[in-house]
Amino acid sequence: MLGVNRTLLAPAEWRSRRAAHVARVRRWTDPLRERRSRGERHPVLDFLFTYYSHRPAKLLRWHPGPGVELAGAEEFLRWPAYRATPRGAELGPLPASRRSSVEFIHRLLTATAGREPRFGCFGLHEWAMVYRSPDVRHEDWPLRLGAAGTDAVVESLPVRCTHFDAYRFFTPAARPLNLLRPQRSDQVALEQPGCLHAGMDLYKWAYKLDPYAPSTLVADCFELALDIRSLDMRASPYDLAQLGYAPVRIETAHGRAEYRREQAGFSERARPLRARLIALCEELLG
């Protein structure tokens, strides 16, 4: 329950923590702003700011999380989630209107954490998004193997995507090739911790809990998602060598082994973050 075992942070301490968070996040948001000012798009670094709905300004904003009282922090009262205390401000209880959302996040993450990770999808979702189609999602970047070569890879390997938000971008020709037919309603039943998109989505579930999620946790999830996106695009059909991204050639046995190793590593990195989010949901739900 909020407010129990409360930690008091003096002004110098919470301001220091806030400044450290802002400095950390600006490593990602400042280059984004510079690219946008030049009209440039980056297929790896821009993804978390376009696919996900959390604005850079909100990512920069620092919140301590529940159970923390901020001395002399009346400025936080401009946000309705906070309430006044005799010494400053703290987060209030979770509003009833947000309870169902937190319950869903808890249910999804708990189900995912309880499954064995499955590897070996080899990032074919990106390939399936351009399969037998004249259109590509990242039109500024060429396909490493060309259209025919890309289609041949999709046809030569089993397509095993379990993540609805990846599957929904498959081309119509690619969807029948997938082992499953994920639907939004299947998400809790299908999501598994080896999936790169499930790892990236920890960032989404963290910011969906804003401002109750500690900003350190949100930033940790963002950093993991950014690293996963790098593998996602290195293993994709696109040639991003000009940007410094060496391809993971999943069309070869060596490349598939490399992908599997990195995928397993990200699954391990995601595990404690998922556990922290589950614990936060349980705290918020009381």
pLDDT digits over 157-182, tens only? 999 999 999 999 999 999 999 999 99
pLDDT digits over 196-235, tens only? 999 999 999 999 999 999 999 999 999 999 999 999 999 9
Judged by DSSP in three states, 178 sits in: strand
Residue with tokens 């082992």: 179
**Of 61, 92, 71, 76, which is closest to residue 218 (Cα–Cα)?**
61
pLDDT digits over 70-90, tens only? 999 999 999 999 999 999 999
* Predicted local distance difference test score (pLDDT) of residue 134: 87
Q: Residue 1 above 50 pLDDT?
A: no
Q: Residue 65 above 50 pLDDT?
A: yes
> What gap in Å lies between CA 243 and CA 173, rounded to an integer?
30
For all residues of the chain together, what is the average pLDDT? 95
pLDDT digits over 231-249, tens only? 999 999 999 999 999 999 9
Q: Residue 4 above 90 pLDDT?
A: no
**Of 210, 219, 209, 240, which is closest to residue 109 (Cα–Cα)?**
209
